[in-house]
Amino acid sequence: MNYDYFCHMTHNTDNVAAESHKHVCLNCGTEYEGRFCPECGQRSTVGRLTIGSIFEHFLVLAGFSNGKLLKTVSHYVIRPGHMMREYLQGKRATYIRPLNILVVLSLFFLLAQMVIPVKLFGNMDDQTKEVVEEGRSQIIVNGRDYAKLIYNVVDSLDDWLKGNMGYYRLFWQLLLIPGTMLCFRKSELCPRTNLAENFFIQVFVSNQLLTLELLWLICTWGRDSLPVWLFAVLLVYDYKQLFGFSWLSTTWKVVKVYVISFFLLIVLFCLIMGIGYLLKDYIQVPLAS
């Protein structure tokens, strides 16, 4: 198959797109009718590479093809809880995969932060940083300041999270899984969800929060962080549709979910501190000043 024929097939949409016409597969040379080659599966509409085709390939790779984008976005806004339940019950080809959205939103967040200054743990000028440094507490054990080690870890974590905002948001949402499984196990619409199902529920919620944070970041130009109370409001809105309880009951259950996650966070922190203490001989801890 020569290049002139390839260009002719690319620009002659009557020969390429019509399913009733015969096509010659540009990949394996098979003659066939329809949209796909029966031998190798390649589309009949394959043509020359263009900027548009590159963008189309990106959308296909991210799972945004076949008209899923508009429907997924609209359902994230109007009926997120119903969409989660439908996804868990097997209606998955209709929507973009939630993990794909998480990766794409993380990329957008990274690109936005290259332009917009943002500090995840609070924006501080140089003078404020000096005051905070002077007022930092010390945890001195055997002449070594463990508090300084913790602050160094937090600063390093802040730098890492700037490029991995999706995973940062997902980590905090995963702490809600035990409370969700416990408090909403008697739902009639979505009863006794398992660990994997709750993981995807939190991925859906993380995508919503990332979208809100990205829009908030752009609108405020990095001056303010998204209000924390919006997280709880969004969770009540999602869980109301997902599990089918009343607004009052859902709100109370969400409060209990956050209380349980708070205690889990304390346990996790104590566990990390305990492991750090056991490994103190292998960790370089700064000397107390």
In angstroms, the CA 232 to CA 230 distance is: 5
Residue range 148-168, pLDDT digits in tens:
666 666 666 666 665 666 677
| DSSP category for residue 43 | B
pLDDT for residue 174 is more than 80: yes
Residue 263 has pLDDT above 90, yes or no: yes
Contacting residues for 23 by C-beta, under 8 A, at least 6 apart: 9, 15, 16, 31, 32, 33, 34, 37, 44
What lies within 8 Å, CB to CB, of 91 at 6+ separation is none
Partnered with residue 27 across adjacent β-strands are: none
| Residue-range domain boundaries for the chain | 3-48, 80-282
Give burial (CB, 10 Å; 0-12/13-18/19+) of 227: exposed
Mean pLDDT on 65-76: 81
Residue 188 has pLDDT above 70, yes or no: yes
Tell me the two tokens of residue 169: 């948001």
Tell me, what's the pLDDT at 258?
95
* pTM listed for this prediction: 0.71
Mean pLDDT of 24-32: 86
Confidence (pLDDT) at 73: 87
